[in-house]
Amino acid sequence: MSRIKPIYCYLIIIVISYIVFYNSLYNEFVFDDESVIVNNASIQNTDNIVKYFSGEEGFHKVIGKYYRPIVSASYAVDFSIWGLDPYGFHMTNLIIHIIACLLLFKILSLLFSRYKYRNIFSLFGALIFAVHPIHTEAVSWISGRTDSMVSMFFFASFLFYIKFTGNPHHEGHENNKHTETSGNFLYLAVSLLFYAFGLLSKEMIVTMPVIIFLYDFVYRKKERISGRT
């Protein structure tokens, strides 16, 4: 049990998340969904995706002064596949949430990599996140997708930042240094790319530099000190 393989953890997270939010797939459009999706003609043509980024179309045209082009683009893609069938939109919400949970598991497995039961700890943490009632609105309400989507990009960006900085306890640390160095800046570029995606999804990801600071000057500093003892 202490050596549970990551692939089994991923499968457990997917299955549990699906079971918990399965009933949301049959919900209808509610509240802001009416203005953001049902009565929003711009999502009915994928050619408008470019206009979401230029500001010609988007959230600010239908509900509040928000600039969230990636979220609007996701609605347009959903409409191109499902029309106005809410099932497809809810399925996208669930998929986004599951991806975020899988990314969190990977992050935790890196942070706990020095521990024998790292996969169990990481699975437990990811499952708490996956099924926590606080995510009900973000997953079950189509317009709540903004929160799950920014979480997904937040985790993806942070994951690649961890890979960029390197983890002294991670398996494979003694790999060829040239390979590790040549990949570092690619990890940083991917991290920044996902951070940009997050900024284009919801504003709260601006807090990420604080997490990076804490990771670098608290967690990594502590790990370096403990590594010397």
List, for residues 10-21, the tens digit of each pLDDT value. 999 999 999 999
* Statement: the pTM of the whole predicted model exceeds 0.85: yes
Residue, of 217 and 205, whose pLDDT is higher: 205
Stated as kind and residue range, the H or E segment containing 51 is: helix 49-54
Domain limits, the chain: 6-29+84-228
Q: How far apart are CA 52 and CA 58, in angstroms?
A: 5
Residue 179 has pLDDT above 70, yes or no: no
Residue 1 has pLDDT above 60, yes or no: no
Residue, of 64 and 16, whose pLDDT is higher: 16
In the numeric block, the tokens 């994951």 are attached to 159
Residue 193, burial from CB neighbour count under 10 angstroms (0-12, 13-18, 19+): middle
Residue 183 has pLDDT above 80, yes or no: no
Q: Which two tokens stand for residue 97?
A: 């949430």
